[in-house]
Amino acid sequence: MAQDIRKMMKEHKQESSGLPQGHEARFEARLNEAFAQNEKKQNSFYWLKVAAIAIVILGAGYFGYQQLSNDTIDSLADTPSNTETKSEENVNQITLGDISPDLKKIENFYLNGINVQLASLELTDDNKELIDGYMKRLAELDAEYALLNKELNEVGPTEATITALIDNLKLRLELLFKLKNKLKELKNLENEQFINMEA
């Protein structure tokens, strides 16, 4: 049953590896047909894209109109003297973001972190006293930050003032993290006491 491979190779006829006649023309026709169908699909999607862009622009315009009308109502509610002092204060105020884009990123990072931590606090009767103590300390740090900003505007940007402003933001965020840890400890302690009372 064993066959000699050498004999098989000699008897084997080599097949032509060329393409069948007219293959290239058929392939080209199929490609042209596929591209024609694709262009028809693209034309129909083109109008959908235009409609979607129009909807987005109208939505943004409506939102902008609502914001401007709210701002107009708010500005009408302000007395002229308040408006003048606010505009004078805003014109003369220099913040960390005005000094450098990197400082603006740092300031935004800390302020966003502080806001997120404040928003996630859950005030209950059990933890109200603890949170109030931390809030008083945060209020002191806010007042200190305002004084440092005033110094920044009066004296100008110095390394010491900028460092103090960043340290103030960092300290406020760390204080909120400590508060969150204390609240977790308090909650765990209450849970343990509750479990012990049931047992």
Query: What are 158-194's pLDDT values in tens digits?
Result: 888 888 888 998 998 898 888 888 888 888 887 777 6
* 96-106 per-position pLDDT tens digit: 777 878 888 88
What is d(CA 169, CA 175) in angstroms, rounded to the nearest whole number? 10
More confident position, 87 or 62: 62
Give residue 87's pLDDT.
44
Which of 30-34, 44-48, 95-99, 131-135 holds the top average pLDDT? 131-135
What is d(CA 25, CA 23) in angstroms, rounded to the nearest whole number? 6
Which tokens in the block code for residue 88? 């004078």
Give residue 82's pLDDT.
43
More confident position, 68 or 145: 145
Give residue 111's pLDDT.
86
Question: Cβ neighbours of residue 170 under 8 Å, at least 6 residues apart?
Answer: 110
pTM above 0.75, yes or no: no
Average predicted confidence (pLDDT) for the chain: 77
pLDDT at 30 over 80: yes
**Greatest pairwise CA separation for the chain in angstroms:** 111
Q: Which residue has the tokens 């909807």?
A: 55
Q: Which residue has the tokens 């109200």?
A: 128
Q: List the end-to-end C-alpha distance of the chain, in Å, as a whole number.
A: 84
More confident position, 74 or 70: 70
What is d(CA 113, CA 169) in angstroms, rounded to the nearest whole number? 10
Sorted by where each begins, the domain ranges of the chain are: 24-77, 93-191
Which of 37-41, 81-85, 142-146 holds the top average pLDDT? 142-146
